[in-house]
Chain A
Amino acid sequence: MDFINAIVLLLNYTVIPALTYGSQLALGAIFVTLVYGILRFANFATGDMMSFGTMVAVLITFYFQSLGISFGFLPTALLTIPPAVLAMIFYMLFIDKFVFSYYRVKKSPPVQLAMVSVGVMFVTQAIIRIIIGPFDRRFFDGEKFILKANEFKEMTGLNEGLTIKSTQAITIFVTVLVVSIMFWFLNRTKTGTSMRAYSDNEDLALLSGIDPKKVVLITWIIAGILATIGGVLYGLDKSYRPFVYFNNMLPIFAAAIVGGIGNPFGAFLGGYVIAFAEILVTYAYKKFFAYLLPEFMEPDSLMQLLSTDYKFAVSFSILVIVLLFRPSGIFKGKTL
């Protein structure tokens, strides 16, 4: 019994939150890795692009709410994803046309493109703050819980409750759906294969008649979908605040590099590696051991490796270790 309680405890406070957070990171990390693999630069506007898409979704959600449109027990924001994705793609293509494409055509070194993306980061942040402001916005509505702690306790008779928030379930479900479709597209369709070919060997791809303009276009479309959905899921689960989105770029980069940058599947797994590391290292295991160990051995400290203040620091340390020992990432495998 105590054993099951301990497991439920871990599930509730580490596994489910980590799966959720990991999914949100994973979507961002695939976005980073796609842009890196195909457009060949580290996009420092990643967090703010995700923020842009989310902002559109938030605004439309507020508009829908004012009209009285709702999505039943699901959050209204899910309805706003398609138009928000469209706006995001439009914005990305606009930026690409007027900013990035110039350097791509000139074949500028990746560093220069990265620096240009810093400019895009500033501009995007300005646009977002001017439109919606820097404040914290909650836009979640609908049913809050799928499973409540006390319901679970009643059901099972356990001490520990298991809570599943609907945002957690939605996040994991949507992520699995989106990522599956994306991998199917990349691995099983002619266009997807041509994108992987372009990423692998640009010159040879051109010699095979692959149209670089089309590859770039589709990359931004996929990037727009991933950025918006990742951003909206994060915002639904926590809240929407532009500054936090900028900061999220950091663990997202960590996830992409840990997974082996340029490798979408690695980035996907990398998101979970980072999320689990952050949460497992900063979780206080006192209660967990209290269940497992006999009474006289019960720990009196919190049994916490690092305080939650160091959440980010954990993922960055992992990144540093990976860069040190395996700069190509943990999951080399198949690259985009």
Chain B
Amino acid sequence: MAFFEGSKMTAGYGDGPDIISSCTINVDKGEIVAILGPNGAGKSTAMKTMLGLLNLKSGSVLINGEDITNLSPQDRVKKGISFVPQSKNVFAELTVKENLEVGAFLRTDKLDKILNDIYDLFPILEEKQSQIVGELSGGQRQQVALGRALMIKPSVLMLDEPTAGVSPIVMDELFEHIIKVKKTNVAIIMVEQNAKQALSISDRGYVLVTGQNKFEGSGNELLNDPEVRRSFLGA
């Protein structure tokens, strides 16, 4: 039994068609799981469903053995599930520090310690703490997004394309940050376009096609699977 699992999820937007059907994704603490697949495959949708932004038609979502299928997104956040959306994942008009503070909105204790932890993880954020996030570079913004999500000390972190639109150097840096987070015993699910790099830092991976699990396996297995290589890794 994995720590966080969405099993056999079927869901769609409103009354529209099912975008994902019978899709299963799970992750354990201290593990990075990558979700790969072509554009429009339902990767983001699967994540949103696990967070409760979409209603399940069938299937269930469990954390630590507890069924949270019927909880609202806010209540799931309280259970320690943090989400970094694909776009608009920071408060662009707030300062870096305010972004982090809002991330910790649900916490009632003093924020000094957790703020320091985040600053240790992302030193640049401490330097820029009173700058408006909208003025930062792409890579710095993604760090703010990560930092904001980590402020509740989540046990599960879901990242939707955390490296979208940044240069390769920044991408490597961000991946390093993500590995550091993993080492603090957080379960990480990550949607990625850069499949090779993602798999190289992931423990396991899923390949979704039209909302269904197509392949799954350890990072290396997928990297070396000829069919996966042919259709998704472009080699």
Contact between chains at B77 and A207 (CB < 8 Å):
yes
The proximity string for B residues 98-110 relative to A, scoring 1 for CB distances below 8 Å and 0 otherwise, is 1001110110000
Size bracket of the A interface: 20 to 34
The answer, yes or no, to whether A335 is at the interface (CB within 8 Å) is yes
Give chain B nearest CB distance to A196 CB in angstroms.
Answer: 6
A194 sits at the interface (CB 8 A): yes
Instruction: Give 1 or 0 for each of A224-244: 1 = CB within 8 Å of chain B CB.
Output: 000000000000000000000
A108 an interface residue at 8 Å Cβ cutoff?
no
Asked if A141 is an interface residue, CB under 8 A from chain B, the answer is no
Given contacts A197-B91, A201-B91, contact A207 B98 (CB under 8 A): no
Interface membership of B132, Cβ < 8 A: yes
Contact assessment for B102 and A210 in the assembled complex, using a CB-CB cutoff below 8 Å = yes
Q: Does A193 contact B (CB under 8 A)?
A: yes
- Cβ B102 vs Cβ A193 within 8 A: yes
User: Is B94's beta carbon under 8 Å from chain A?
Assistant: yes
A204 at the interface (CB under 8 A from B): yes
CB-contact partner of A203 in B85, B101, B132, under 8 A: B85
Q: Is the CB of B94 within 8 A of A200?
A: yes
The reply on B83 being an interface residue by CB < 8 A is: yes
Contact between B90 and A204, CB atoms less than 8 A apart: yes
Inter-subunit contact A334/B93 (CB<8 Å): yes
- Contacts known (A197-B98, A211-B74, A334-B132); A190 close to B105, Cβ less than 8 A: yes
Q: Does A180 contact B (CB under 8 A)?
A: no
Asked if A193 and B77 make an inter-chain contact with CB atoms under 8 angstroms apart, the answer reads no
Determine which of A200, A205, A210 lies in contact with B92 in the assembled complex, contact meaning CB atoms within 8 Å. A200
Within 8 A of B (CB), among A199-222: 199-201, 203-211
Residues of A within 8 A of B90 (CB): 201, 204
> In the complex the two chains form, what is the Cα distance from A200 to B94 in whole Å?
8
Evaluate whether A204 and B78 lie within 8 angstroms (CB atoms) in the complex, with A194-B102, A210-B102 already known: no
Q: Choose one: B89, B93, B105, B132; the contact of A209 (CB below 8 Å).
A: B105
Given contacts A194-B102, A194-B105, contact A209 B78 (CB under 8 A): yes
Bound Cα distance A206, B93 (Å) = 16
* Interface residues as binary, B69-83 with A (CB distance below 8 Å gives 1, 0 otherwise): 000011001100001
* Residues 85-125 of B at the A interface (beta carbon under 8 Å): 85, 88-94, 98, 101-103, 105-106
Known: A196-B93, A203-B85, A335-B93. A208 touches B98 (CB 8 A): no
Residues of the B chain whose Cβ atoms lie less than 8 Å from the Cβ of A204: 85, 88-91, 148
Tell me the chain B residues, 152-186 only, with Cβ under 8 Å from chain A. Answer: 152
Docked Cα-Cα span, A276 to B154, in Å, equals 52
Q: Are B102 and A208 in contact (CB under 8 A)?
A: yes
Closest residue to A202 on the B side, CB-wise?
B88
A208 to B148, CA, bound (A): 8
Give B43-83 as 1s and 0s: 1 = Cβ < 8 Å from A's Cβ atoms: 00000000100000000000000000000011001100001
Residue of B at shortest CB range from A193? B98
- Write out the residue numbers on chain A whose beta carbons fall within 8 Å of the beta carbon of B85: 203-204, 207
Residues of B within 8 A of A209 (CB): 74, 77-78, 105-106, 152
Q: Which residue of B is nearest A334, CB measured?
A: B93
Bound CA span A210–B78, Å: 11
Bound CA span A309–B93, Å: 40
Bound-complex Cα distance A200 to B91 (A): 6
B88 touches A203 (CB 8 A): yes
* Docked CA distance A197–B98 (Å): 9
- 13 extra A-B contacts, CB within 8 A, seeds A194-B102, A194-B105, A210-B102: A190-B101, A190-B105, A193-B94, A196-B91, A201-B90, A204-B148, A207-B51, A208-B102, A208-B106, A209-B74, A210-B105, A211-B74, A334-B132
9 A-B pairs in the complex with CB atoms less than 8 angstroms apart: A193-B102, A197-B102, A201-B92, A203-B85, A203-B88, A204-B85, A207-B77, A207-B83, A210-B102
A-B pairs, 7 with minimum CB distance:
A209-B106, A197-B102, A200-B93, A200-B91, A335-B93, A209-B77, A208-B105
